[in-house]
């Protein structure tokens, strides 16, 4: 059955083996039913592919009597579109593996968080599905900010919302995917009923300010659309879609990141006058509110601070140099690293968060990596298991974390 499922998802056995970091011949034997799939890999494949264990372990003979539509998990229909490439499907497979590992490490450490569930449920309960999409999105964002403490202080939340959402149990992945046109997406990971929302931002050729908008936009999709769609995809340059789901998610992102009171506070704090605002003033607002220029201008227009004509004029201003002098987030990765001390680099795990066992590299979240490393230090898991969770070899695990965090050989 495994071979039929792989064909239905668009992943061949060689690619699957490379993404799992195992010998290709072994996977071929699994797909040909010449060797039983180990129990641990059955669970991993089940979560990564999105198919239940019973279906995965059915006989080859039984699989021949089923059509693709009978065995193809819903998410893979979303990732077969003409605008999608193999890199997209491979990234989904890897991210779903991370979701599986996160469930395992949380089970071991007893630190399972499902705080996102009551938050999502409260929002869905309060929103009138017949209201205009923008109104739905804005109301949902206000509920999110209030219920999670993100509304505190009337300041930009770009530097705090990732940690806030991760503590609620939401999986956030930011990693480069150069071949892809996908800028962001959201879908659930993990087996039912232990699935969790995952939001992804493609970091290739995007700024930190833009990624803030991408992630919160995808969070909006996760809240509203995860019960009716296997996945939500947004391609480069999204934000002006006419579909109800896109209008709602965009309104949600703007209200969550830069509601009127946050923009007003930023303007007042820096003595900015809208009728004489300069490129430097706009750069200050971007740096203060933690969102890209496009969203600052859109928020100013929708908040009644500027006219549509002013918005069009201001969007033509070049704020790059001013912004680079105001915020480290405007620097390139190389430039940013040059500003950090060795101690700061160590805390951020610079260079130590990239999985190297799979054929396609992916950058793991800091919090997830630290949870795994701390579990080793607390003797809750072995170094071998930690290496599996981090998708690296034991040698890489010990060279990256051994001396600094006290990881020793088993």
- 360-390 pLDDT, tens digit per residue, is 999 999 999 999 999 999 999 999 999 999 9
Question: For residue 167, what pLDDT is reported?
Answer: 95
Question: Confidence band (pLDDT; 50, 70, 90) for 404?
Answer: low
Give me the phi and psi of 192, to 5 degrees please.
Answer: -65, 135
User: Which of the residue ranges 56-65, 79-88, 217-226, 378-387 would you say has the lowest mean pLDDT?
Assistant: 56-65
Letter string b/e over residues 188-200, b meaning 16 or more CB atoms within 10 A of that residue's CB: bbbbeeebbbbbb
Asked if the model's pLDDT at residue 124 lies above 60, the reply is yes
Q: Over the chain, what is the mean pLDDT?
A: 91
Question: For residue 332, what pLDDT is reported?
Answer: 79
pLDDT (average), residues 59-63? 57
The pTM (predicted TM-score) of the whole model is 0.93
Question: For residue 301, what pLDDT is reported?
Answer: 97
Question: Confidence band (pLDDT; 50, 70, 90) for 156?
Answer: very high
User: Which of the residue ranges 51-60, 190-199, 401-410 would you say has the lowest mean pLDDT?
Assistant: 401-410
Question: For residue 228, what pLDDT is reported?
Answer: 81
Asked if the model's pLDDT at residue 236 lies above 70, the reply is yes
CA dihedral 235, 239, 241, 245 (to 10 degrees): 90
Asked if the model's pLDDT at residue 358 lies above 60, the reply is yes
Asked if the model's pLDDT at residue 264 lies above 80, the reply is yes
Asked if the model's pLDDT at residue 209 lies above 80, the reply is yes
pLDDT (average), residues 124-140? 97
Strand partners, 8: none
- The span from the CA of 322 to the CA of 191, in Å, is 47
pLDDT (average), residues 250-258? 98
Asked if the model's pLDDT at residue 294 lies above 50, the reply is yes
pLDDT (average), residues 136-158? 94
Question: For residue 80, what pLDDT is reported?
Answer: 84
Using alpha carbons only, give the angle 351, 353, 358 rounded to the nearest 5 degrees: 110
Question: Confidence band (pLDDT; 50, 70, 90) for 410?
Answer: very low
Residues 6+ apart with CB under 8 A from 58: 1
Question: For residue 238, what pLDDT is reported?
Answer: 78
> Comparing C-alpha atoms, which of 24, 40, 219 is closest to residue 119?
219
Q: Are 196 and 224 in contact (CB under 8 A)?
A: no
pLDDT (average), residues 124-152? 96
Q: What percent of the chain has pLDDT over 70?
A: 94
Residues 6+ apart with CB under 8 A from 327: 286, 287
Asked if the model's pLDDT at residue 11 lies above 50, the reply is yes
Strand partners, 232: 186
pLDDT (average), residues 231-242? 83
Asked if the model's pLDDT at residue 106 lies above 90, the reply is yes
Q: For domain 1-72, which CATH number applies: 1.10.260.40, 3.30.460.80, 3.40.920.10, 2.60.40.10?
A: 1.10.260.40
Asked if the model's pLDDT at residue 194 lies above 90, the reply is no
Question: For residue 409, what pLDDT is reported?
Answer: 46
- The span from the CA of 192 to the CA of 244, in Å, is 27
How many CB atoms are closer than 10 A to CB 311?
16
Q: What percent of the chain has pLDDT over 90?
A: 73
Give per-residue pLDDT as tens, 307-338.
999 999 999 999 999 999 999 999 877 788 78
- Which sequence spans correspond to the domains of the chain? 1-72, 116-257, 270-338, 352-405
């Amino acid at each position: 059955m495994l071979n039929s499922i792989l064909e239905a998802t668009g992943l061949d056995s060689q690619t699957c083996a490379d993404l799992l970091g195992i010998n290709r011949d072994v996977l071929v034997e699994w797909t040909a039913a010449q060797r039983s799939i180990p129990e641990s890999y059955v669970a991993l494949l089940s979560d990564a592919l999105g198919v239940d264990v019973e279906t995965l372990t059915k006989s080859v003979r039984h699989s021949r009597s089923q059509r693709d539509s009978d065995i193809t998990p819903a998410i893979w229909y979303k990732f077969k579109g003409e605008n999608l490439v193999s890199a997209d499907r491979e990234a989904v497979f890897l991210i779903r593996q991370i979701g599986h590992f996160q469930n395992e490490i949380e089970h071991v450490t007893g630190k399972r968080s499902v705080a996102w569930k009551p938050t999502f449920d409260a929002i869905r309960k309060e929103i009138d599905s017949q209201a205009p999409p923008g109104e739905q999105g804005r109301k949902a964002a206000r509920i999110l900010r209030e219920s999670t403490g993100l509304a505190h202080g009337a300041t930009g939340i770009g530097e705090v919302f990732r940690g806030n959402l991760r503590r609620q149990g939401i999986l956030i992945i930011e990693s480069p995917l150069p071949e892809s046109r996908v800028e962001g997406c959201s879908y659930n990971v993990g087996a039912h009923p232990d699935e969790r929302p995952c939001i992804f931002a493609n970091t290739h050729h995007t700024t930190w300010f833009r990624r803030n908008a991408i992630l919160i936009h995808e969070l909006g999709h996760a809240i509203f659309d995860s019960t009716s769609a296997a996945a939500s995809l947004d391609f480069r340059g999204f934000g002006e879609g006419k579909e109800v789901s896109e209008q709602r998610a965009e309104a949600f992102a703007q209200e969550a990141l830069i509601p009127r009171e946050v923009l007003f506070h930023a303007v007042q704090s820096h003595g900015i006058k809208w009728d004489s605002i300069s490129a430097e003033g706009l750069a200050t607002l971007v740096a203060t509110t933690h969102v890209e220029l496009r969203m600052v201008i859109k928020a100013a227009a929708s908040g009644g601070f500027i006219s549509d004509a002013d918005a069009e004029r201001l969007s033509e201003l070049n704020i790059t140099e001013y912004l680079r002098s105001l915020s480290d987030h405007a620097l390139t990765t190389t430039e940013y690293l040059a500003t950090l001390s060795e101690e700061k680099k160590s805390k951020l795990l610079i260079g130590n968060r990239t999985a190297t066992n799979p054929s396609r590299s992916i950058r793991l979240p800091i919090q997830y990596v630290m949870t795994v490393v701390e579990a080793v230090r607390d003797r809750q898991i072995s170094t071998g298991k930690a290496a599996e969770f981090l998708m690296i070899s034991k040698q890489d695990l010990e060279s990256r974390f051994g001396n600094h965090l006290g990881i020793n050989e088993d």
